[in-house]
Structure 1
């Protein structure tokens, strides 16, 4: 890709793998990357608390995250190259779990204000993202339904 360095290219490739950004073209991904902030976290640092307002998402570039319930029960490990908080960013729902860095970690943070500003300029991008959010929520609902059977 002309004009991109290796780090930028790697970021774009990481973003392309994240379900909520599925179908976005490179220009749309670059637009989102412009409103991102890089943040670093220490091992055991609480990144998101269950019940808090969800106004940003994190794309994990390096490290590993732990997802725990309100009671501290381990729910999942999130390796680099994945995202957390994407549903709340678009739905406004409170955080459903605690997220900790299990080791020193670095991520890209997209906040609601920055994403909303870009989405208003690019309604086609917004449509793609909303379709992805609906698909993700449908999958999660089906999974929850199956667990109840």
Structure 2
């Protein structure tokens, strides 16, 4: 049975995750559809008089997928699912099937649109050149104003903020995200000074300077001259091979030949993961390793440590930053 319901401004009709038990027709006022994001809400749409909301749960009984609240004093007509289902039961089976299928299609389409929007937002926020730009700003401020300390080089968060926004005219929230990511990864530390500012210490200044030069060189090389990037898993394999390469002598060509059978047998103990001989194949294909060498019954991977160590370190940082900066 339909019933009227009034909502004062900023009151919720329902919240994300609530059980769905009715759909609503807006009689007067204005509603907002929002999604909770951290401590705030993002508005997705406005619902005007004459429109309806909450109808999708009628077919699949899934929890509410968003918040709906009144932007101003609003009156809605509630149509309980129990009453609507009785009316639906009177429709032919094929009509109910079409309605249910349409509902599922709309819900899946909305989900895919949301995923694409999220992916695009992440891509626009921190594409590779933006990562390197903010790393460069960070390096510049540390190089020019950093104070040497026992653990590294330190600067004030105020100084970094001022340079980011005033000199380079970039968003300070992005710099904050970059600093937090590098802190989590062990490159920086942050210490509150008690006045709302922080002392930021760079623990690995040389590595971050080298990273910017390396990444800039990779980004602006012609595609035909640029090695393919390493995935997170490939970095794990390469780091394991580096560990084992350091245990064997370097030959007259500057290579350390790693027995892949030894790696498979001892990798779980040494690196906490099973590294199989075939795991090195993609590294050979991408030319981070030379071709495998057969010697008797053993297969060896030639590792050029001066080349692959910075590659593994830098691609690991790229992959970790992409995850942290989503």
TM band (smaller chain): 0.5 to 0.7
The CA deviation string for residues 70-97 of structure 1, in whole angstroms up to 9 with x for no partner, is 3441323222222221222221111122
After TM superposition, list the pairs within 5 Å mapping 1:1-149 onto structure 2: 35-70=1-36, 71-76=39-44, 77-123=46-92, 125-147=95-117, 148=119
Partner of 2:72: helix, strand, or coil? coil
Gap change, CA 1:114 and 1:80, over 3 Å in 2: same
Deviation (angstroms), 1:64 = 0.6
In structure 2, list runs of 5 or more residues that go unmatched: 121-326
Distance 2:102 2:75 in 1: 25
Which structure carries more relative contact order (alpha carbon 8 Å, separation 6+)?
A: 1
SS at match of 1:106: strand
How far, CA to CA, are the matches of 2:49 and 2:9 in structure 1? Answer: 14
Select between 125-134 and 101-110 the one with higher mean Cα deviation: 125-134
1:42-77: CA deviation from partner (whole Å, max 9, x where unpaired): 222211022110111112121111222234413232
Structure 1 segments of 4 or more deviating over 6 A? Answer: none
Instruction: Report the counterpart of residue 253 of structure 2 in structure 1.
Output: none
Larger radius of gyration: 2
Shift of residue 132 of structure 1? Answer: 2.9
C-alpha distance in 2, partners of 1:36/1:128? 25
Unaligned runs of 5+ in 1: 1-34
Between Structure 1 and Structure 2, which shows a larger proportion of helix residues?
Answer: 2
